[in-house]
Amino acid sequence: MLTKYEDFVAFSKAYAEAVTASSAAAKAGAEAITKSLIDLTNAGVARTVAQTKALSGLKTPEALIKAQTKFATESLDQAYLDGKALADLSGKVAQDVSAPLAEHVKSVWALFPKAA
């Protein structure tokens, strides 16, 4: 329990440090997610431009359908992989943000006497 002024000050300082660490992790995570989204967007645009150039050189409707079907399949596969990577990154960010606060909560619970 917090019985002395110094205990309360230490508790408050530890809480402020946990919030600061959590905020820093949130900032870094938001930057990482934003960078990932920008990279994914740029890659998607590059794939679309390359596909458009490839389609413009095709001579038959059959070749066009085959190329477009292949592009659509590859795009869906890539969207799945990109979504999984983004979900993994988001999960890591959530863990990084919550870890300092979770540690602080554990330290608070340690202050209370255990029930018999």
Q: pLDDT tens for residues 47-83?
A: 999 999 999 999 999 999 999 999 999 999 999 999 9
The Cα 111–Cα 4 span in angstroms is 13
pLDDT at 111: 75
Distances (CA, A) of 70 to 20, 33, 110: 48, 29, 59
pLDDT of 115 reads 60
3-class SS at 105?
helix
CB proximity list for 17: less than 8 A, separation 6 or greater: 100
What is the reported pTM?
0.78
Give DSSP secondary structure letters for 39-69. HHHHHHHHHHHHHHHHHHT--SHHHHHHHHH
CA angle 98, 99, 104 (to 5 degrees): 100
Residue 8 pLDDT exceeds 90: no
CA dist 32 to 35, 43, 68, 101, Å? 5, 16, 32, 21
